[in-house]
């Protein structure tokens, strides 16, 4: 909407002027006109910075002001800039919207004015007009289709300004000529009079309908105004209205619930005034509610609550905690932002966005920033002309393609946000090179070393559990239909109608190239050999005393469920690692589960492995839903006794939850999460090999971590490895993932092998690679590791696929207490005792005495009655 009046000010002198309309009142009518010269551009930019979002600025510029300066002024928030003809053409050719430009013309001859209006559709500004008749004539000629016309006078007076307003041109009046005090000297123009001259009243009492709103536009109530009440409002800077019964009404005078005036404007057809106010006290309504339509709702209500909590939060309230714990608030904002990114359905998105708004507003309120400030900022941004490209910051780029079926966005964003970077270096890089951060252990405290060795932060348990629990419950109670729903949602396999593929598997579903089939067969055979060798050929039998024989024998776990990950990469090798030992152990029922591809099919390599290990079925599902189906069974998935296999945080959490449910009757192998490797290198190691091993695990996912411990390497040797890491990484198809994982990967430089092993044992890596002199002798010092790779000819990837060892290994440091998957993972050990009469005589005394100590008489008698003793 066009402004009713422009107040022209001289930037250089205005703030010091005591004449005319003061700056406190400027914003009440909301439109300021300023002349800008090359000398005052900076002043104008500062003025815009302070006022943009509070009122509209119209800037006239001289022909000497450069085009770039004009663009800067527009970009800084000027509503419109008044330019010369040549500037106008140039700016339009640069695609600046004509709505933001006004053609400025001297307009004292009819020809000049007619030419200008006839030739353009942009708004016109003509200044120093002395002949009002001229303006009247051209406005009549061009009627309502003309562009808006702004006119400044050589000598404005109330009559000419009013006449001009009625002609629907926009008067430009110097601030010193205006006053908000109707009783001031007569030569000043009353702002109230100028505003009200344009207003119309359709009421018999001649009052003006007035809508009162807060700064966010929320209606507080309806009142009436007169020219006198508007003048009083402008003079006092308060909400003043005209009561139909009591005359002038200074809102809040008796109740104390006063209003600060923010602005006064007219609606589109000038028959309704709008007062924007800052309401103080209990609210606007006489019933002491925020508005005459009841209390606030939505964001306004949230803001009200947070502001009152900030003033006096109940001790122990969650909001009070957030106000006092910046770290917690930061973590919650990051968490909610990523949950919003992960949300899929309308309900989820609304739910997560509401959470994010809550925490974001808490941050604002704690810093004294209001919703109004935020909205002013949004408005200011909306009129910028130089748009930023809008690309994500480098740290977040690697996460851009939404991974609906695997990697946790939250986790990645947390990581990205937690590592301080220089402005120009994307994640995982330094000076543009893919580089691991380097620490010299002798120069750091043990605390620093422990902290840099931390695995990339995981989603809080609570959050993951909150996501996973409902999934488990749904599958447990609704079976197949819930299982399919989640597969449609997370794996996009919307055409899938049955969640299980049963053996015998059709040959067309496991067609492989001869090379792939051969590779699987070779790996199968090696894994088989190594795991078969782990079996005990006969039970363990020990006679502990004459006639007392103790035996231990093993039995296979009857039904096993094997989880094969398929989120960021499909891993048929994991099917081998889990399936072959199950087969060797003699498990009667082997069921695989793996997320299907988007078309509902399963990778032929996995089907082939399932066939080779004698699996009875493949569950076409991933994540927590697959784990729940295996644990509880569904109409088509048969329940298992143990679930094995690695996976992301949802899989790991679901495994933990079902194994804790005594009704499920299911156990698990171990927590096996994002892949990790620790390489120990000394001066004998080959930088090419070292780098290749580090990268082989870094490429698994951005949540992987790789560590290099360099023993006694000098700068040249360290740089040789770093060069290799960069060069090799740049040639990898998954270089973006590598950048992500390298960002939280480090090199530790230490002096001795002893120190290196101490660090490694404390870290307890999933994979430990020893590329050092006499590597075999170092194995003795290994206390904690999932699997060890000895010497320069043993890359970790041989263990991942084909050497024979298992690659399903404990991560997160769990190598301190868990073994990787092995034959025993599929077996139970049962013990038996077998005593002769003599044996019972030999051991019976001890039994009876201990039963007596424990006061368990029946235990004691089970022996004494047999032996016929008391």
Ligand X SMILES: N[C@H](CO)Cc1c[nH]c[nH+]1
Within residues 366-425, the interface with ligand NAD by CB under 6 A covers: 405-407
Task: Pick between residue 65 and residue 523 the one whose CB is nearest to ligand X.
Answer: 523
Residue 573 touching ligand X (CB under 6 A): yes
Residues 739 and 427: beta-carbon distance below 8 Å: yes
Dihedral of CA 82/83/84/85: which sign? negative
- Whose tokens are 């197949």? That residue is 480
Strands (DSSP E) found in 140-184: 149-153, 170-174, 178-179
Cβ closest to Zn ion, residue 8 vs residue 802: 802
Task: Compare residues 28 and 399 and give the one whose CB is closer to ligand NAD.
Answer: 399
Set 335, 767, 792, 807: catalytic member: 767
CA triplet 536, 540, 546: central angle to 5 degrees?
165
Token look-up 């061009």 returns 142
Rg value, the chain, Cα: 39
Can you read off the two tokens belonging to residue 595? 């997320």
- Binder of ligand X out of 766, 785, 815, 844 (CB under 6 A): 766
At closest approach, how far in Å is the CB of 672 from ligand NAD?
4
Contact between 595 and ligand NAD per CB under 6 A: yes
Burial class of residue 148, CB neighbours in 10 A (0-12, 13-18, 19+): middle
* Binding partner of 407, given Zn ion, ligand NAD, ligand X, none, CB within 5-8 angstroms per partner class: ligand NAD
Direct distance between the N- and C-terminal alpha carbons of the chain, in angstroms, rounded to an integer: 108
Minimum CB separation from ligand X for residue 800, in Å?
Answer: 4
Query: Quick one: 693 or 722, whose CB is closer to ligand NAD?
Result: 693
548: left (phi over 0), alpha (psi -120 to 50) or beta: beta
Beta bridge partners of residue 771, listed in sequence order: 681
- Which tokens go with 10? 């001289």
Residue 456's binding partner out of ligand X, ligand NAD, Zn ion, none, with CB under 5 to 8 Å set by partner kind: none
Tallying the residues shown for the chain, one arrives at 870
CB of 577 to ligand NAD, least distance (A): 8
Nearest residue (beta carbon) to ligand NAD: 623
Q: Which of 336, 409, 766, 792 is catalytic?
A: 766
- Size of the residue set binding ligand X (CB under 6 A): 8
Sign of the C-alpha dihedral, residues 696, 697, 700, 703? negative
Distance CA 439, CA 429 (A): 16
Comparing CB distances to ligand X, the nearer of 232 and 800 is: 800
Distance between CA atoms of 331 and 124, rounded to whole angstroms?
Answer: 53
Q: Please report how close the Cβ of residue 675 comes to Zn ion at its closest, in angstroms.
A: 5
Q: Which is nearer to ligand NAD, 405 or 802 (CB)?
A: 405
Residues near ligand NAD (CB under 6 A), total: 35
Cα distances (angstroms) measured from residue 374 to each of 2, 218, 357, 364, 602: 25, 16, 12, 9, 49
Closest C-alpha to 33, from 86, 73, 69: 73
Residue sitting closest to Zn ion (CB): 800
CA distances (Å), origin 104, targets 75, 123, 370, 523: 20, 9, 38, 82
Residue 568 interaction partner, one of ligand NAD, ligand X, Zn ion, none, beta carbon < 5-8 Å per kind: ligand NAD
- ∠ Cα 782 787 793 (to 5°): 95
Residue 825 binds ligand NAD (CB under 6 A): no
If the CB atoms of residues 210 and 704 are measured against ligand NAD, the closer one turns out to be 704
Contact letters for ligand NAD, residues 552-591 (x by CB under 6 A): -------------xxxx--x--x-----------------
651 binding partner (options ligand NAD, Zn ion, ligand X, none; Cβ < 5 to 8 Å by kind): ligand NAD
Give catalytic status of residue 766 as yes or no: yes
Prior bond to 504 cis, omega within 30?
yes
- Residue 567 CB, shortest distance to ligand NAD, in Å, is 3
CB 71 within 8 A of CB 46: no
Q: Binding pattern to ligand NAD, positions 616-635, x when CB under 6 A? A: ------xxx-----------
Residue whose entry in the numeric block shows the structure tokens 């016929």: 868
Tell me, letter by letter, the H, E, C secondary structure of 246-285.
Answer: CEEEECCCCCCCCEEEEEEEECCCCCCEEEEEEECCCCCC
336 lies in the site for ligand NAD, by CB under 6 A: no
Contacts of 853 (CB under 8 A, 6+ apart): none
Q: Is 809 in the site for ligand NAD (CB under 6 A)?
A: yes
Q: Is 800 in the site for Zn ion (CB under 5 A)?
A: yes
Stretch that binds Zn ion, among 80-88, 143-151, 386-394, 796-804 (CB under 5 A): 796-804
Instruction: List, in sequence order, the alpha helices (H) in 533-671.
Output: 572-585, 604-613, 623-632, 649-660
Asked if residue 571 binds ligand X (CB under 6 A), the reply is yes
Question: Which of Zn ion, ligand X, ligand NAD, none interacts with 573 (beta carbon under 5 to 8 A by kind)?
Answer: ligand X
Q: How far is the CB of 710 from ligand NAD (least distance, A)?
A: 25
Q: Among 235, 734, 807, 860, which residue sits at the site for ligand NAD (rule: CB under 6 A)?
A: 807
Sheet arrangement for strand 827-835: 540-545, 548-556, 827-835
Residues forming a β-bridge with 8: 33, 174
Strand partners for 827? 556
Q: Which of 80, 332, 807, 860 binds ligand X (CB under 6 A)?
A: 807
Q: Within positions 644 to 703, which residues make up the interface with ligand X, using CB under 6 A?
A: 675, 697
Residue nearer to ligand X on the CB measure, 408 or 574: 574
Does position 197 interact with ligand X (CB under 6 A)? The reply is no
* Segment near ligand NAD (CB under 6 A); pick from 295-303, 309-317, 578-586, 696-704: 696-704
**Of the two residues 192 and 619, which places its CB atom closer to ligand NAD in the complex?**
619
Cβ closest to Zn ion, residue 426 vs residue 566: 566
Residues 6+ apart with CB under 8 A from 603: 566, 570, 572, 594, 597
Q: Which range in 97-105, 575-583, 664-672, 795-803 contacts Zn ion by CB under 5 A?
A: 795-803
- Binding positions for Zn ion, rule: CB under 5 A: 800
Which active-site residues does the annotation give? 766-767
- Binding positions for ligand NAD, rule: CB under 6 A: 342, 405-407, 467, 490-491, 565-568, 571, 574, 595, 622-624, 646-648, 650-651, 672-675, 700-701, 703-704, 766, 807-809, 811
């Amino acid at each position: 909407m066009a402004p009713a009046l422009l107040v022209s000010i001289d930037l250089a002198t205005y703030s010091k002027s005591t004449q005319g309309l003061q700056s406190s009142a400027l914003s009440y009518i909301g439109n300021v006109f300023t002349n800008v010269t090359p000398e005052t551009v900076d002043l104008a930019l500062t003025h815009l910075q302070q006022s943009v979002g509070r009122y509209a600025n119209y800037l006239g510029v001289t022909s000497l002001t450069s085009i770039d300066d004009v663009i800067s002024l527009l970009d800084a928030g000027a509503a419109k800039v008044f330019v010369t003809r040549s500037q106008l053409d140039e700016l339009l050719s640069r695609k600046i919207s004509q709505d933001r430009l006004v053609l400025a013309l001297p307009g004292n001859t009819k020809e000049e004015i007619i030419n200008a209006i006839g030739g353009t559709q942009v708004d016109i500004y003509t200044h120093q007009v002395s002949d009002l008749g001229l303006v009247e004539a051209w406005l009549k000629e061009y009627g309502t289709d003309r562009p808006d016309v702004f006119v400044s006078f050589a000598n404005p007076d109330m009559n000419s300004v009013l006449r001009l307003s009625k002609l629907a041109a926009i008067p430009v009046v110097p601030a010193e000529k205006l006053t908000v005090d109707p009783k001031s000297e007569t030569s000043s123009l009353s702002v109230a009079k100028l505003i009200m001259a344009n207003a119309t009243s359709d009421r018999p009492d001649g009052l003006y309908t007035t809508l009162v709103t807060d700064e966010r536009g929320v209606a507080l109530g309806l009142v009436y105004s007169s020219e006198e009440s508007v003048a009083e409002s402008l003079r006092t800077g308060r909400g003043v209205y005209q009561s139909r019964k009591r005359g002038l009404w200074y809102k809040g005078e008796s109740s104390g619930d006063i209003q600060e005036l923010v602005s006064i404007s007219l609606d589109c057809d000038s028959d309704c005034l709008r007062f924007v106010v800052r309401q103080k006290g209990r609210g606007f309504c006489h019933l002491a509610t925020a508005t005459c339509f009841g209390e606030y709702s939505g964001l306004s209500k949230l803001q009200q609550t947070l502001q009152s909590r900030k003033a006096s939060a109940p001790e122990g309230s969650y909001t009070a905690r957030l106000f006092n714990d910046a770290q917690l608030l930061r973590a919650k904002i990051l968490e909610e932002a990523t949950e919003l990114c992960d949300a899929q359905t309308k309900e989820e998105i609304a739910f997560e966005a509401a959470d994010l708004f809550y925490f974001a507003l808490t941050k604002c309120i704690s810093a004294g920033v209001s919703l109004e400030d935020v909205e002013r900022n949004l408005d200011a941004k909306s009129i910028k002309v130089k748009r930023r490209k809008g690309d994500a910051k480098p740290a977040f780029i690697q996460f851009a393609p939404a991974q609906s079926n695997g990697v946790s966005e939250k986790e990645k964003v947390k990581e990205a946000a937690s590592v301080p970077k220089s402005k120009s270096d994307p994640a995982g890089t330094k000076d543009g090179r893919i580089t691991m951060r380097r620490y010299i252990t002798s120069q750091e405290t043990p605390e620093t070393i422990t902290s840099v060795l931390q695995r990339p932060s995981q989603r809080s348990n609570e959050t993951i559990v909150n996501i996973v629990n409902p999934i488990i419950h749904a599958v447990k109670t609704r079976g197949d239909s819930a299982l399919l729903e989640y597969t449609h949602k997370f794996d996009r396999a919307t055409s899938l109608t049955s969640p299980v593929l049963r053996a015998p598997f059709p040959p067309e579903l496991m067609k492989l190239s001869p090379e792939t089939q051969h590779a699987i067969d070779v790996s199968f055979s090696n894994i088989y050999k190594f795991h078969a060798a782990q079996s005990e050929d006969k039970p363990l039998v020990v006679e502990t005393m004459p006639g007392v024989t103790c035996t231990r024998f093993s039995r296979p776990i009857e039904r096993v469920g094997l989880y094969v990950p398929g989120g960021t990469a499909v891993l048929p090798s994991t099917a081998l690692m889990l399936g072959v030992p199950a087969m060797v152990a003699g498990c009667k029922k082997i069921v695989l589960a793996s997320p299907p591809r988007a078309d509902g099919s399963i990778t032929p390599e996995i089907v082939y492995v399932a066939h080779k290990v004698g699996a009875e079925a493949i569950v076409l599902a991933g994540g927590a839903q697959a784990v729940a189906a295996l644990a509880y069974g569904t109409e088509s998935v048969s329940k298992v006794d143990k679930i094995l296999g690695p996976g992301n945080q949802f899989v790991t959490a679901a495994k933990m939850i079902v194994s804790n449910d005594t009704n499920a009757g299911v156990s698990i192998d171990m927590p096996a999460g994002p892949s990790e490797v620790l390489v120990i290198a000394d001066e004998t190691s080959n930088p090419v090999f070292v780098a290749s091993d580090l990268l082989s695990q870094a490429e698994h996912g951005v949540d992987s971590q790789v560590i290099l411990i360099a023993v006694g390497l000098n700068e040249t040797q360290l740089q040789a490895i770093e060069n290799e890491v960069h060069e090799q990484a740049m040639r990898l198809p998954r270089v973006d993932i590598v950048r992500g994982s390298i960002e939280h990967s480090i090199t530790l430089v230490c002096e001795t092998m002893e120190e290196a092993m101490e660090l490694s044992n404390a870290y307890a890596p999933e994979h430990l690679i020893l590329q050092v002199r006499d590597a075999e002798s170092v194995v003795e010092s290994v206390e904690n590791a999932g699997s060890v790779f000895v010497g320069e000819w043993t890359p970790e990837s041989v263990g991942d696929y084909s050497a024979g060892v298992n690659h399903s290994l404990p991560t997160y440091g769990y190598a301190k207490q868990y073994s990787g998957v092995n034959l025993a993972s599929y077996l139970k050990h049962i013990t038996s005792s077998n005593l002769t009469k003599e044996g019972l005589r030999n051991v019976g005394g001890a039994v009876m005495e201990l039963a007596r100590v424990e006061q368990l008489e029946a235990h004691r008698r089970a022996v004494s009655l047999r032996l016929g003793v008391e």
